[in-house]
Amino acid sequence: MTSDFLIQGDTFTDERGTLRFVNNFDMSEVVRFYEILPKDEDLIRAWQGHQFEKKWFHCISGSFVINLVEIDNFENPSEHLTPKRIELSSQPPEILAVPNGYATGIKASVTGSILQVFSNFGLKESAADDHRYPLEKWSAKW
């Protein structure tokens, strides 16, 4: 799925090796990052939403399915919201930019996948803006 949420990257290879880059990713809002290394490809981490925080996802290794849901009401979201399914892979390099107001669910597609996550909020701010919903809340294609 191509998406307005994706920031495309590229690679460059010469006799010294390969560079992977996403030069159009403006990191000026980023204040922290972390990595997610799922124990296996059966685990689904869903749903976590942020009313104000923005996130950017970068697949370092392997691939992931990431579902996004635009939340209509953070205290009592509709059960009829439709997730947007995005496949994110380490090749080609790209960044999935998730604006505030969304909940995300992630699932590794292959064992050994690594997902790097960037945020514009510190830990304390993020925890105050954390909204969790049960996996069954919305029907997503994993």
Q: How far is the C-alpha of 64 from the C-alpha of 22, rounded, in Å?
A: 18
pLDDT, one tens digit per residue, over 15-26 is: 999 999 999 999
Mean pLDDT value of segment 76-105: 97
6-74+81-135 classified as CATH 2.40.40.20? no
**pLDDT for 4:** 82
Beta bridge partners of 11: 20
pLDDT, one tens digit per residue, over 105-142 is: 999 999 999 999 999 999 999 999 999 999 999 999 99
State the pTM of this model. 0.94
pLDDT, one tens digit per residue, over 58-89 is: 999 999 999 999 999 999 999 999 999 999 99
**pLDDT for 2:** 45
Q: In degrees rounded to 5, what are phi and psi of residue 123?
A: -60, -45
pLDDT, one tens digit per residue, over 29-43 is: 999 999 999 999 999
What single string gives the DSSP state of each residue in 97-142? EE-TTEEEEEEESSTT-EEEEEESS-HHHHHHTEEE--GGGS----
Place of tokens 């392997």: 62
How much of the chain exceeds pLDDT 70, in percent? Answer: 98
Domain ranges of the chain: 6-74+81-135
